[in-house]
């Protein structure tokens, strides 16, 4: 299983990483997208063509990939809104080929039939269809953009629903996992979850 694929034209890097681990392209059975934004789903179709893996995403973010929509949610600060406007103005330069996912995920879905002891958790906020992948046997959870850990641990700069986002973070706290893996930045230990900063701190770090 692979969780998220990065931006477009990232497939070769991922295939090389698999090769370095002694894995063949056909060994990849499932691509799980934590949400539909281009920096997570951009190489999914290319990887599917190279590996034959199925692509899975929550039904509420399906429309983003099915229509090749390049979009990011509102920001939490004025600087973030300016950055979002700049991104949307240039988004036409990133061409996303639409594709239909093979699986529509929802709360409680087991991924065991793909050989992975993992469960889907609905963790909306960054996007309506954001999910996390919980691996109980490892006490680990892959959270997509629910958290950002680039030097500073914080909420994401962009969120469709901040209240839902914070409720989702609270849900991860209750799981008490040993390891939390955000899509952007380093692994987070459970004890760090009481130090999450608002998204504006990431933005100030990003745009000094």
What CATH number was assigned to the domain covering residues 2-206? 3.60.15.10
Query: What are the tens digits of pLDDT across the range 68-80?
Result: 998 889 987 787 8
Mean pLDDT, the chain, rounded, equals 93
pLDDT at residue number 88: 82
Return the closest-CA partner of residue 182 out of 133, 147, 152: 147
CA atoms within 13 A on the CB side of 26: 0
Query: What are the tens digits of pLDDT across the range 78-127?
Result: 878 888 888 888 877 778 899 999 999 999 999 999 999 999 999 999 99
DSSP code per residue over 170-205: HHHHHH--SEEEEEEES-EEGGGGGGPBPHHHHHHH
Of all residues in the chain, what percent carry a pLDDT higher than 70? 98
Q: Which two tokens stand for residue 47?
A: 């990887």
Q: Which two tokens stand for residue 44?
A: 């999914």
Of all residues in the chain, what percent carry a pLDDT higher than 90? 80
Average pLDDT over every residue of 175-192: 96
pLDDT at residue number 43: 97
pLDDT at residue number 208: 52
Q: Which two tokens stand for residue 123?
A: 């963790």
Lowest mean pLDDT among 33-42, 163-172, 194-203: 194-203
**How far is 55 from 45, CA to CA, in rounded Å?**
8
Q: Phi and psi at residue 149, in whole multiples of 5°?
A: -135, 55
Domain ranges of the chain: 2-206
Average pLDDT over every residue of 49-77: 93
Most confident among 46-50, 113-117, 150-154 (mean pLDDT): 46-50
pLDDT at residue number 62: 97
| pTM recorded for the entire structure | 0.94
pLDDT at residue number 77: 79
């Amino acid at each position: 299983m692979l969780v998220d694929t990065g931006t477009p034209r990232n497939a070769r890097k991922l295939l090389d990483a698999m090769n370095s681990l002694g894995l063949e392209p056909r060994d990849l059975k499932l691509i799980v997208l934590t949400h539909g934004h281009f920096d997570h789903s951009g190489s999914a179709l290319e990887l599917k063509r190279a590996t034959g893996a199925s692509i899975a995403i929550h039904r509420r973010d399906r429309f983003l990939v099915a229509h090749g929509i390049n979009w990011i949610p509102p920001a939490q600060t004025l600087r973030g809104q300016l950055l979002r406007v700049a991104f949307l103005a240039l988004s036409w330069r990133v061409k996303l080929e639409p594709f239909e996912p093979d699986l529509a995920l929802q709360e409680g879905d087991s991924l065991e039939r793909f050989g992975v002891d993992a469960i889907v958790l609905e963790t909306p906020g960054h996007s309506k269809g954001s999910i996390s992948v919980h691996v109980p046997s490892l006490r680990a959870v892959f959270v997509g953009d629910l958290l950002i850990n680039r030097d500073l641990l914080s909420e994401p700069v962009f969120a469709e629903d901040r209240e839902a986002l914070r409720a989702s973070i609270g849900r991860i706290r209750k799981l008490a996992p040993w390891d939390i893996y955000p899509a952007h930045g380093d692994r987070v230990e459970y004890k760090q979850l009481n130090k999450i900063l608002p998204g504006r701190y990431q933005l100030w770090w990003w745009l000094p």
